[in-house]
């Protein structure tokens, strides 16, 4: 047999429908659009719309609706919530992350680089050299935040700046450079 070709419908009654309507209102209030969509799909299924009709109306893939219905029929209300979306697994395990932290803490000069600050591309290069994993600079920043590091921007300072002259300029010259508001025309 090629598979069951009978239409799949969600299990429930009028009480189920009213409970789902309340749940949908709460999901809309909580700004949970995916949950609202799944609830709407179940409600339509309870009204005996086919999965194809539901998919077309909600603008989702036709294979999605039977999954929603199956989760609903098996798990009830809990089946409406999505599970964890893990995405692609991290290329670095706990041991590699610990080693990366040691490298970062020792600094780029200690690693053999000529610069005094880490940049995302440099950290990506270290990850490539040490662990054979390629990381996009944007993902390197995400990884660094996850490891407890923050982005640091170096401040620009003149090496030969005279602090007395700077204070004098900030106190006397700079205020005179600021624009003053013009008198309003009447």
Q: Is 49 left (phi over 0), alpha (psi -120 to 50) or beta?
A: beta
- Residues 6 or more apart whose CB falls under 8 angstroms from that of 38 comprise 68, 80
The candidate with the shortest Cα–Cα distance to 100, out of 126, 133, 120, is 126
Q: What is the rounded end-to-end Cα distance, in angstroms, of the chain? A: 89
pLDDT 10s digits, 57-79: 999 999 999 999 999 999 998 88
Tokens of 28: 């809309």
Confidence of residue 162 (pLDDT cuts 50, 70, 90): confident
Tokens of 112: 């053999």
CA distance 42 to 51: 10
The candidate with the shortest Cα–Cα distance to 63, out of 3, 1, 14, is 3
User: Do the Cβ atoms of 105 and 149 come closer than 8 Å?
Assistant: no
- H helix or E strand, kind and range, residue 183: none
CA 29, 33, 39, 43 torsion-angle sign = positive
Confidence of residue 156 (pLDDT cuts 50, 70, 90): low
More confident call, 147 vs 156: 147
Query: What is the average per-residue pLDDT within 138-167?
Result: 79
Output the pTM of the full model: 0.46
Distance of CA 83 to the CA centre of its chain: 16
**Where are the strands (E) in the chain, listed by range?**
none
Exposed e or buried b per residue across 24-37, where buried means at least 16 C-beta atoms within 10 angstroms of its C-beta: beebeeeebeebbb
Residue 109 DSSP code: H
Does the pLDDT value for residue 163 go beyond 60? yes
**What is the reported pLDDT for 1?**
41
User: Do the Cβ atoms of 126 and 103 come closer than 8 Å?
Assistant: yes
Average pLDDT, the chain: 85
């Amino acid at each position: 047999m090629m598979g069951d070709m009978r239409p799949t419908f969600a299990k429930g009654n009028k009480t189920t429908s009213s409970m789902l309507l309340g749940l949908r209102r709460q999901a809309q209030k909580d700004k949970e659009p995916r949950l609202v969509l799944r609830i709407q799909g179940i409600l339509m299924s309870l009204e005996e719309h086919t999965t194809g009709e539901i998919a077309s109306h909600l603008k989702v893939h036709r294979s999605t609706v039977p999954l929603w219905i199956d989760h609903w029929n098996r798990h009830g209300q809990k089946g409406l919530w999505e599970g964890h979306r893990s995405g692609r697994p991290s290329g670095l395990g706990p041991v590699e992350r610990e080693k990366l932290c040691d490298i970062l803490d020792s600094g780029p000069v200690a690693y053999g680089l000529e610069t005094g600050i880490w940049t995302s591309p440099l950290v990506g290069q270290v990850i490539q050299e040490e662990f054979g994993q390629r990381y996009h600079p944007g993902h390197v920043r995400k990884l660094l935040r996850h490891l407890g590091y923050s982005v640091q921007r170096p401040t620009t300072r003149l090496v030969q700046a005279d602090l007395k002259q700077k204070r004098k300029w900030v106190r006397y010259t700079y205020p005179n450079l600021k624009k003053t508001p013009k008198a309003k025309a009447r």
